[in-house]
């Protein structure tokens, strides 16, 4: 069904739901975060909040949003539709109004993740090429009202999260390896022959630098989410779709020169993650890792430098995670039914926060700091 | 303006709402006229009328199992083995009724994982049990607690009693004495976990005492987590206990993925799960029979269908003629899930998460 783009934007722009921050909610110096949320009435929104002040605004979305890319200089926030959605909304982070709405071209749909280039000129989004079944990165020109200006292969199928390395020139993509088609919903069509991989390529030329295939050794270990450290090491978090009686490690790192290692975790802790991680982040120092398992109801922590496992903290339905700017080892985490909390990697526990209305919402998969 | 509203309706009608998007795990709309109960009263009632009685039953069964092992080790006879099996089944039944609760003391100190280790990954129970049998160190409770969680609970106990040749190995032969020690150590461990969990709820400084004076956020968290645990059981039964075993057709059936297949308890375990679900749901329903009756009837139906299966799940899954009854049970689990999913959050006044259900 063709949706009239102009009335769509008009409708969205008219639908900022909320609390436009009157002075006194968030402190002027307090950092803001953004996440997709749903409320008890089933309304999906892009929600900007502060940990102690609560909601700043909520902008209505047509359906569930997934991750959000934060523009380095402009007030633009790009919220990608949850896969297999066909829209990405660009929202003004100060006013909450919709700046524009990007629709995926024919035979493409969004996978839920993307990023801005370091200079803020381009927006990249992971997408599915429905004709070939291969993953692509759609490229959109910010200055041209986000017109689609090109695409690059992700060198794999079912790409999910993507990130630039700190050089601002090299792109890493987590190729989940699962073949899906909106015609059959979210069903994995190649359950027994998935091809998970990590690809590292040049943003300008598309030249592939490294490709790490997991399929031959670890069929079913779907690469999903990424976090990049200041030194260029990338942390990946995966989900295992294979045999129920197997239990591969889920978190590892990839160096810029293409070397991977898995991070150790005791079996009893690994078992409690139910083979599923929903998000991963590094703390503000870039040294400590937090990964979330909504299916297990735990946040798990590692020290990236030593590779040492630090422990787990319980929070049901936890998924969103972002580094807190307050101190090393502290993370803002969110849950579908327990609101927003602060998780501490060294004490491995979670604490309540001051934002009084945050518990009311069902927090979707990802949080970003803005 | 009219046109804009029409466009809005069109757009938001066309763009799938939340529950339609997750077709694999639909979240039905809440029952709109359900009256939410006071959360503190609800939390205390759930603790006192469901959680504590269930852990009390578990502790009692676990004590009996510990006694049975003491008796067996003094005098290892076939008759004593039968008593061990009875005690194991009663303990496993009691656990199955409260197994879906992960909130509270059971979630601390790896008690949940130590009580039962399932689904068994990386063959952990077999490996750790073989290791325990092979290493003749003294099994003090302190030391046993330091061993693999997989060997400390009911999953290892099942193997000790039901694995091929297990009974013979218990009664005679070079490993008999060691297997007896391990059985005793497991039975002690299970009883201790049950006691600690029970006291963690009802004892001094326990959950119930805390709930009486706790702030609203803590009370809300308790209700929310117990409610989430309750609704999670349908997914666990559907995905792990049924779908993983049945596959798409008889040749895809995986009988050894069934829970407690060695002791032939796979269907009985599901029936006991629903027994617990029913007990907890009854407390939540209270006097709201208008809505509650429907939900409870759906749970009862799923319970009855599981309880009346004529053979273990794996055996039925491999038999084309028997599979329709598993399909029927699977459907009843869905119906019970949907009705509970519409009713429980409204009645408890909580939001239920979804990240754990739909994945990305």
pLDDT at A7: 57
Q: pLDDT for B70-84, tens place per residue?
A: 999 999 999 999 999
B244 shares contact with chain A (CB less than 8 Å): yes
| Contact call for A278 and B359, based on CB within 8 A | yes
Q: Using a CB-CB distance cutoff of 8 angstroms, which residues of chain B are in contact with residue A160?
A: 360
Q: Residue A357: how many CB atoms within 10 A of its CB?
A: 14
- pLDDT tens-place string over residues B280-309: 999 999 999 999 999 999 999 999 999 999
Question: Is B149 near chain A, with CB under 8 Å?
Answer: yes
- Residue B42 located in a structural domain: no
* CA distance, residue B123 to nearest chain A CA (Å): 7
Q: How far apart are CA A137 and CA A117, in angstroms?
A: 12
pLDDT at site A8: 61
A279 touches A319 (CB < 8 A) = yes
Based on the fold, state whether residues B237 and B180 are members of the same structural domain: no
pTM: 0.89
When CB atoms are compared, the residue of B10, B117, B355 closest to A365 is B355
Closest A-chain CA to B360? A278
Using the Cβ of B20 and the Cβ atoms of chain A, whether some distance falls under 8 Å is answered with: no
Q: Do A82 and B21 touch (CB under 8 A)?
A: yes
What is residue B3's predicted lDDT score, i.e. its pLDDT? Answer: 40
Chain-chain contact of A335 with B353 (C-beta, under 8 angstroms): yes
Minimal Cα distance from B351: which residue of A? A337
Residue B165 in this model has a pLDDT that exceeds 60: yes
CB count, 10 Å around CB of A216? 7
Q: Show residues of chain B in contact with A365, CB under 8 Å.
A: 355, 360
Q: A160 vs chain B: nearest CA distance in angstroms?
A: 8
Read off the pLDDT band of B25 (50, 70, 90): very low
Of the candidates B163, B187, B207, which is a domain's last residue? B207
pLDDT grade for A242, boundaries at 50, 70 and 90: confident
Residues in chain A within 8 Å Cβ distance of B23: 185-186
Cβ within 8 Å, pair A297-B257: no
For residue A68, give the 3-state DSSP assignment. Answer: strand
Same domain? For B105 and B140 the reply is: yes
The span from the CA of B102 to the CA of B84, in Å, is 27
Provide the 3-class DSSP secondary structure of residue A11: helix
Q: Are residues B155 and B255 in the same domain?
A: no
Report pLDDT digits (tens) over A127-141.
999 999 999 999 999
Q: How many structural domains comprise chain B? A: 2
Please tell me whether residues B11 and B63 are part of one structural domain: no
Cβ(A328)–Cβ(A363) under 8 Å? no
Cα Rg, chain B, nearest whole Å: 23
Task: Look at strands A279-282 and A260-262 and give their pairing.
Answer: unpaired
B78 found inside a domain: yes
Whether B219 and B328 share a structural domain: yes
Structure tokens at A123: 């927006």
Surface-to-core class of residue B288, CB atoms within 10 Å of its CB (0-12 exposed, 13-18 middle, 19+ buried): middle
Residues B222 and B306 in one domain: yes
Residue at which a domain ends, from B179, B207, B235: B207
**What is the C-alpha to C-alpha distance for residues B33 and B290, in angstroms, rounded to an integer?**
10
Of A63, A186, A337, the CB nearest to B352: A337
Which range marks the domain in which residue B176 is found? 50-207
* Range of weakest confidence among A22-26, A89-93, A122-126, B230-234: A22-26
> Mean pLDDT across chain A, nearest whole number?
92
Q: How far is A307 from chain B (nearest CA, A)?
A: 22
Find the length of chain B: 360
CA angle A319, A325, A328 (to 5 degrees): 85
Flag whether pLDDT at B213 surpasses 70. yes
| Whether residue B290 is found in the same domain as residue B159 | no
Q: Please indicate whether, in this complex, the C-beta atoms of A246 and B122 are within 8 angstroms of each other.
A: yes
**B355 contacts A317? CB cut-off 8 A:** yes
- Percentage, residues of chain A above pLDDT 70: 92
Residues B236 and B352 in one domain: yes
Contact A358, A341 (CB under 8 A): no
Cβ separation B221–A272 shorter than 8 A = no
Residue B43: inside a domain: no
Q: Which residue of B has its CA nearest to A242?
A: B244
Contact A294 B355 (CB under 8 A): yes
Is 90 exceeded by the pLDDT of residue A115? Answer: yes
Range B92-103 burial, b when 16+ CB lie within 10 A, else e: bbbbbbbbbbbb
pLDDT at A20 over 70: no
CA distance B120 to A244: 8
Q: Which of these ranges, A26-35, A150-159, B47-56, has the smallest mean pLDDT?
A: A26-35
Question: Distance between CA atoms of B348 and B262, rounded to whole angstroms?
Answer: 39
Q: Please indicate whether residue A39 or residue A80 has the higher confidence score (pLDDT).
A: A80
H or E element in which residue A367 lies:
strand A362-369
pLDDT of B56: 98
Note whether B157 and B228 are same-domain residues.
no
Answer whether residue A150 shows pLDDT above 70.
yes
Whether residue B231 sits in one domain with residue B203: no
Mean pLDDT of A261-274: 95
Average pLDDT over residues B21-33: 52
Question: Domain with B86 in it: what CATH number?
Answer: 1.20.1420.20
- Give CA torsion, residues B141, B147, B150, B153, to 10 deg: 0
Sorted by sequence, the CB contacts under 8 Å of residue A7 that are 6+ apart come out as B3, B4, B7, B11
Q: Is A146 helix (H, G, I), strand (E, B) or coil?
A: coil
Is-contact A51 A359, C-beta < 8 A? no
Mean pLDDT of B12-38: 52
Q: What is the pLDDT of residue B28?
A: 52
Q: Which range is least confidently modeled, A183-192, B123-132, B248-257?
A: A183-192
C-alpha distances out from residue B215 to B38, B128, B203, B210, B221, Å: 14, 43, 20, 9, 10
What integer pLDDT is reported at residue B217 of this predicted model? 86
What pLDDT, on the 0 to 100 scale, is given for residue B16? 31
Mean pLDDT for the stretch of residues A76-92? 96
Residue B44 lies in a domain: no
**What integer pLDDT is reported at residue B5 of this predicted model?**
37
Same domain as B174, residue B296: no
Complex confidence, ipTM = 0.84
In a domain, B45, yes or no: no
Q: Report the pLDDT value the prediction gives residue B20, as an integer from 0 to 100.
A: 33
Residue A34 makes CB contacts below 8 A (sequence gap 6+) with A46, A47, A48, A49, A68, A70, A77, A79, A93, A367, A368, A370
Flag whether residue B123 sits within 8 Å of chain A, measured between CB atoms.
yes
| Chain A CB within 8 Å of residue B3 CB | yes
Give the closest-approach CA distance of A322 to chain B in angstroms: 16
- Taking residues B234-239, report their average pLDDT: 95
Chain centroid to CA A91: 17
pLDDT value for A81: 97
Cβ-Cβ contacts under 8 Å, B102 against chain A: 297
pLDDT score recorded for residue B14? 32
Give the orientation angle of helix B289-307 with respect to helix B266-285, to 10 degrees.
170
Partners of A208 in the β-ladder: A201
**pLDDT (0 to 100) of residue A4:** 52
Q: Closest residue of A to B123, CA-based? A: A245
Three-state DSSP state, B254 = coil
d(CA B244, CA A253): 31
| pLDDT above 70 for A351 | yes
Q: Is B141 domain-assigned? A: yes
For chain A, what percent of residues have pLDDT higher than 90?
82
Q: How confident is the model at residue B316 (pLDDT cuts 50, 70, 90)?
A: very high
What confidence tier does A19 reach under pLDDT thresholds 50, 70, 90? Answer: low
Nearest CA in chain A to B121: A245
> Chain A interface, mutation test: which of B355, B357, B358, most A Cβ atoms within 10 Å?
B355
Q: What was the pLDDT predicted at A26?
A: 53
- Pick the closest to residue A3 from B12, B267, B308 (CA basis): B12
| CA A224/CA A217 separation, integer angstroms | 17
- Residue B40 placed within a domain: no
- pLDDT tens-digit profile of A199-232? 999 999 999 999 999 876 788 999 999 999 999 9
Q: Which pLDDT band, with edges at 50, 70 and 90, does B13 fall under? A: very low
Closest CA of chain A from B78, distance in Å = 33
Q: Average pLDDT, whole number, for chain B? A: 91
Last residue of a domain, one of B207, B237, B252: B207
CB B155 within 8 A of CB B117: yes
- In angstroms, the CA A54 to CA A358 distance is 6
- Is the dihedral angle over the CA atoms A99, A105, A111, A117 positive or is it negative? negative
Mean pLDDT value across residues A23-48: 82
How much of chain B exceeds pLDDT 70, in percent? 92
- Taking CB atoms and an 8 Å limit, are B240 and A244 in contact across chains? yes
Measured between CA atoms, how close is B86 to chain A, in angstroms? Answer: 28
Name the pLDDT band for B237 (thresholds 50, 70, 90).
very high
The first and second tokens of residue B307, run together, are: 């309880």
| Position with higher pLDDT, B180 vs B10 | B180
The pLDDT, as a whole number, for residue B185 is 97
- The answer to whether residue B153 is domain-embedded is yes
**SS3 label, residue A150:** strand
pLDDT above 60: residue A349: yes
Query: Does residue B139 share a domain with residue B245?
Result: no
């Amino acid at each position: 069904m063709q949706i009239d783009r102009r009335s769509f934007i008009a409708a969205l722009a008219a639908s900022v739901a909320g609390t436009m921050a009157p002075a006194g909610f968030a402190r002027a110096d307090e950092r803001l975060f953004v996440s997709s949320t749903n409320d008890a009435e089933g309304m999906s929104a892009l929600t900007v909040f502060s940990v102690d002040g609560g909601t700043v605004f909520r902008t209505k979305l047509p359906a569930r949003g997934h991750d959000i890319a934060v523009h380095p200089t402009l007030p633009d926030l790009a919220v990608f539709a949850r896969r297999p959605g066909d829209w990405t909304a660009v929202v003004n982070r100060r006013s909450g109004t919709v700046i524009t709405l990007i629709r995926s071209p024919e035979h493409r749909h969004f996978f839920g993740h993307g990023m801005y280039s370091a200079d803020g000129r381009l927006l990249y989004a992971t997408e599915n090429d429905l004709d070939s079944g291969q993953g692509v990165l759609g490229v959109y020109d910010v200055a041209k009202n986000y017109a689609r200006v090109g695409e690059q292969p992700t060198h794999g199928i079912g790409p999910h999260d993507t990130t630039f390395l700190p050089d601002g020139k090299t792109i890493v993509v987590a190729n989940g390896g699962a073949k899906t088609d909106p015609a059959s919903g979210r069903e994995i069509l190649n359950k027994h022959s998935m091809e998970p991989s990590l690809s590292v390529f040049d943003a300008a030329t598309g030249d592939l630098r490294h490709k790490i295939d997991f399929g031959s050794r670890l069929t079913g270990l779907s690469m999903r989410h990424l976090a990049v450290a200041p030194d260029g090491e990338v942390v990946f978090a995966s989900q295992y779709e294979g045999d129920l009686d197997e239990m591969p490690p889920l978190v590892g790192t990839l160096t810029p020169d293409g070397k991977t290692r898995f991070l150790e975790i005791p079996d009893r802790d690994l078992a409690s993650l139910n083979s599923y991680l929903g998000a991963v982040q590094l703390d503000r120092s870039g040294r400590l890792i937090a990964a979330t398992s909504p299916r297990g109801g735990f946040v798990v922590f590692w020290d990236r430098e030593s590779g040492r496992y630090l422990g787990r903290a319980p929070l049901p339905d936890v998924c969103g995670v972002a580094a807190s700017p307050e101190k090393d080892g502290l993370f803002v985490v969110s849950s579908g039914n327990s609101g927003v909390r602060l998780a501490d990697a060294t004490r491995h526990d979670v604490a309540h926060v001051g934002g009084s209305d945050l518990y009311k919402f069902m927090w979707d998969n990802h949080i970003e700091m803005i | 303006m009219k046109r804009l509203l029409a466009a809005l309706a069109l757009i938001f009608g066309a763009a799938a709402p939340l529950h339609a998007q997750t077709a694999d795990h639909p979240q039905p709309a809440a029952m709109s006229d359900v009256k939410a109960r006071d959360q503190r009263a609800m939390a205390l009632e759930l603790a006192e009328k469901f959680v504590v009685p269930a852990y009390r039953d578990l502790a009692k069964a676990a004590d009996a199992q510990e006694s049975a092992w003491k008796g067996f080790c003094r005098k290892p006879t076939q008759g004593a083995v039968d008593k061990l099996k009875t005690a194991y089944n009663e303990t496993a039944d009691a656990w199955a009724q409260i197994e879906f609760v992960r909130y509270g003391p059971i979630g601390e100190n790896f008690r949940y994982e130590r009580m039962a280790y399932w689904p068994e990954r990386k063959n952990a129970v077999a490996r750790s049990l073989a290791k325990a049998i092979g290493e003749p160190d003294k099994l003090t409770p302190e030391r046993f607690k330091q061993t693999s969680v997989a060997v400390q609970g009911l999953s290892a106990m099942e193997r000790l009693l039901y694995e091929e040749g297990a009974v013979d190995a218990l009664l005679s032969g070079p490993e008999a004495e060691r297997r007896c020690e391990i059985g005793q150590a497991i039975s002690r461990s299970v009883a201790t976990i049950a006691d600690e969990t029970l006291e963690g709820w009802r004892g001094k400084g326990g959950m119930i005492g805390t709930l009486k004076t706790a702030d609203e956020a803590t009370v809300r968290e308790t209700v929310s987590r117990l409610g989430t645990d309750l609704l999670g059981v349908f997914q666990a039964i559907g995905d792990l206990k049924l779908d993983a075993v049945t596959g798409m057709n008889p040749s895809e059936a995986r009988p050894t993925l069934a829970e407690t297949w060695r002791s032939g308890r796979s269907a009985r375990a599901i029936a006991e799960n629903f027994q617990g679900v029913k007990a907890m749901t009854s407390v939540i329903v209270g006097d709201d029979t208008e809505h509650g009756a429907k939900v409870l009837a759906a749970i009862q139906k799923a319970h009855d269908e599981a309880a009346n299966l004529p053979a273990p799940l794996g055996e039925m899954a491999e038999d084309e003629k028997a599979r329709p009854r598993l399909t029927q049970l699977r459907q009843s689990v869905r119906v019970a899930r949907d009705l509970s999913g519409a009713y429980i959050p409204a009645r408890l006044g909580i939001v239920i998460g979804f990240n754990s259900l739909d994945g990305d």
